[in-house]
A and B are shown apart, each in its own frame.
Chain A
Amino acid sequence: MKIYPQPAELFISEVIEPVDQACERCDARSLARYRVVDYRGWLRVVKCRSCLHTVGSERIVSPVLSGDL
């Protein structure tokens, strides 16, 4: 089991990486790449922040195990 230091920041937020593309479902330009947990585990997704449509998703190992925080 890898171990990690306590974060220096007092409050923790997911990094939301904007993706410059229009949503194929609602046409808004609010796509972003970030990580979520779905019913089977961790995903890195590209989702529309406006209509919650998932444009793309990739199964990833949980951050604790992968070391990729």
Chain B
Amino acid sequence: MTSNAALRIGIDTGGTFTDLVLAEGEHVRIGTKSLTTYDDLANGLLRTIEKADPGDTPVEQIVHGTTVALNAILTRRGADIGMLTTHGFRDLLDMARGWRPFEAMVDPRWRRPHELRPIVERFRRRTAHERMMADGEVLMTLDEDRLLQEVERLVADGCEGIAVCFLHSYKHPEHEQRAAELIRSRYPDLSVSTSTEVAPFPREYNRFSTCVLNAYVQPLMDSYTARVEDRLREAGVSAPLMFMTNDGGLVTAGQVTSRPVATLNSGPVGGVMGVQAYADRLRMPNLVGFDMGGTSTEVAVVVDGRASVKRELEIEHDLLVSLPVVEIHSIGAGGGSLIAIDEGGGLKVGPESAGSDPGPACYGHGGTQPTVTDAFLLLGVLDAEVALGGEIYPDVAAAEAAFAPLTTALGMTTAEVARTATEVAIHNMAEAVRRLTVYRGADPREFGLVSYGAAGPLVASQIARTLQMPRAVIPALSGVFSAFGLLTAQAFEEEITPVMATVTDEVAADIFARARQSLDALVRQLRGRGNRDVIVEAWLDATYLGQRWELAAVIDPSHPEPLQHLSEAFAAAHQRQFGYSLPAPIYVQTLRTRAVSTDQRRLFPPRLTNSEPAQPKRRRDITLMGQLNRDVPVYNADEFAPNQVVLGPAVIEAQTYTGVLVVGDVATVNEFGDVVIEIEENNQ
């Protein structure tokens, strides 16, 4: 199915920019950025594709990452939906998990997000007379007439979708399946999501939240994908529209329409899959992915070549999607973070942000508060002569004016305040990295840092130094890295099997037998879709008996000693995550099996073709890590020759990013334009 001439497009629609990468076979031909057009996403997509100019060569596949559904949830612009749930549990969505977030820990005035801004308000939450027990015994049989009466009420009230959520359904789906069957046959135009179909895992609140969110964004994703596909067809692009899932898989537009919650976070996940691809190509199996954007910084880890996967995505406090997701830890620190004095008289950097409107003061759009971007500008890290993001010429005077109240209050110069603020920002971002490494018992000194996004390359070396990491990489396509990563998405087929049992010899043998059976079927299905090279994966979600937060462990279901292998695999996963294991019984919640296609997985940025090493095109003074560096050379990334060595301090300006090397950095630009920085003092 792959030919070297076929084109593939990865396209990531982000908050401010839409990034596109056009690849021909295994090589990227071009990467571009343009402003996201919110009022007409489909046309915006098409225009971005046209800008990349594929010409007459057929496009084989378009992999799309979009936050359309996520934004709809955040802004509460999803569909009108109703919820049908087990008798007695009408208020789970409002109650959620009960706890309060850190910032409201002792706040008696705090309101739960769902009670303030409901996805499904109480009058649209109806109960069905039904109740299963944990062992499958039916305590209350499903009252079908009553169910349909409730649905009729909801439809009459304007609902275009229904979420069906019953207790114990992940293990005993009969009542939910029957309810869905009745509703779909009576109301064929209604979109129906059942919690069993969407997320068949235990923990009712998590599963119901996921199902409700699915129903909430389903009509929207349906019309979005239809519109995009129509526009593409009209423009003569017949390539299938594919999406990346929350954990790096590849699904069709049809699959996205039935389970949109599986792709909510596809953009940022694209970036992490790109980091995973770099782990393979650069032979650096342990990497920290670091994406510094305008409002927030996202951090992820790749361990032994695999991105770390979590079991839930928290969109707002207690608003959950309980599906495997690439673990991304986000903190409110980015280029637009506001620098201010807090109520104790100390310096505060973020989490409030200037956003994109008005944006940093230096954007000249009316922002009056200083931000991290303004600090970088005034320290010389950003060039006062070069347009930010290729579009905006910085207003230095506005940036300086924004700092004036702070310099007066603190009795410091602008440069000193800027320096302190950027140090605090860098340390806060470093903490985000520690969260996924040090605090899990993993040593960042054994990891490399891949720093991308709009601002990641600016701080790559400084973050790595703060964490004593020996190596940092600025990838060639940093500014459009998520779109690059989207093209490494892998087609897969999966099955989820609830277990909910304490492990014995018999239970282990049974799990392994079921896993083998499942994998055979999945491989057949995947090959049937035209995929040639297929690998299989089997995961168990388990705990030590009595623990509450399950951990995923990889197993090999062909192993001849199931109990021993399972115990060792889980103990190793526990050791890695928590630093110890126990001689205690293991409780397995879920078996997850997958067949994954490994066709067409390698992707290289465009090769550098210059024969002469690049010379600095100009120089300027820059303050880095508290030191003023004079006459720092500035390079144009397009002019590098393969294997050129660049010593810090230096600035690298590329079309989609600006990168910085500090004193002591020894960087090699490889044949693909990736800047690999060795931090000598951490290289013992």
Q: Do A and B have CB atoms closer than 8 angstroms in the complex?
A: no
> Which residues of chain A have a CB within 8 Å of any CB of chain B?
none
